[in-house]
Amino acid sequence: MMNLKTVVIDDEPLAVNILKKYISEIKELDLTATFTNAVAASTYVQKNPVDILFLDINMPILNGLDFLGNLKNKPMVVITTAHEEYALNCFELEAIDYMVKPIPFPRFLRTVNRIMELKSIPYETSTEKEEVDHLFIKVDKKKHQKVYLADITIIESLKDYIRIKTKKGNFIAHRTLSSFTEELPSTKFIRIHRSFTVAVDKIEFIEGNSLSVEGVRYTIGRSYIEDVKKVLLM
């Protein structure tokens, strides 16, 4: 079976290098070209077979949204950006997924998994069984904080931000609780409320519709309680 021809368009060299590394881990993906601006990529994408396109939004001359809007015969497009507010626009333009930078490998792998399922292609990766033990969390414009998963106790939604509580302190990040929870191992973290995701191994007890983490009680939301008990009280 032919591998999927993949193209990366991003004006940040670091972002391109990260995606190149990730793509190299998936045997069924062939990186055929990379571009630092959408203008240079436009002709190539229209004249060459492309199965998957990883596309940044904020680029000089022609941004990713305008590029995507004018693109004919679209391949499967995955948006890669540091900005969450463009998600609706991108899905309206038929993007297959929307990944917020910095992109951890497990999040990238989930996107590839979805693409493979849509194309009915089984895939292998040399690192898919490796245990991810940390994430880099963007806590301000220039700083990405390394946070070990084992140190996280609870993640709290603060509207457009989240508070990540750890043994070594709390960190505030401009993320949604839903998107961040998706990046965490489902065997180690569980969403218990629209405002809280907790580390399973930090739960001290469950009583009725609440549970305790580090001596603090948290209510389990009505829409979550069945799943929580199914996972924790097997």
Looking at the fold, whether 76 and 158 belong to one and the same domain comes out as: no
- Tell me if 210 is assigned to some domain: yes
> Which strand (E) or helix (H) includes residue 182?
helix 177-182
Whole-angstrom distance, CA of residue 208 vs CA of residue 230? 14
Looking at the fold, whether 107 and 150 belong to one and the same domain comes out as: no
Looking at the fold, whether 219 and 151 belong to one and the same domain comes out as: yes
Domain that holds residue 192: 136-232
Between 83 and 18, the more confident residue is 18
pLDDT tens, residue by residue, 172-208: 998 889 888 888 888 889 999 999 999 999 999 998 8
Whole-angstrom distance, CA of residue 15 vs CA of residue 8? 10
Q: Are 123 and 30 in contact (CB under 8 A)?
A: no
Average pLDDT in the chain:
85
Looking at the fold, whether 19 and 91 belong to one and the same domain comes out as: yes
Question: How much is the pTM?
Answer: 0.53
Tell me, what CATH number does 187's domain have?
Answer: 2.40.50.1020
Residue partners of 100: CB distance under 8 A and separation at least 6: 81, 82, 83, 84, 175, 179
Looking at the fold, whether 115 and 142 belong to one and the same domain comes out as: no
pLDDT tens, residue by residue, 112-143: 888 887 776 554 554 443 456 888 888 877 78
Looking at the fold, whether 26 and 63 belong to one and the same domain comes out as: yes
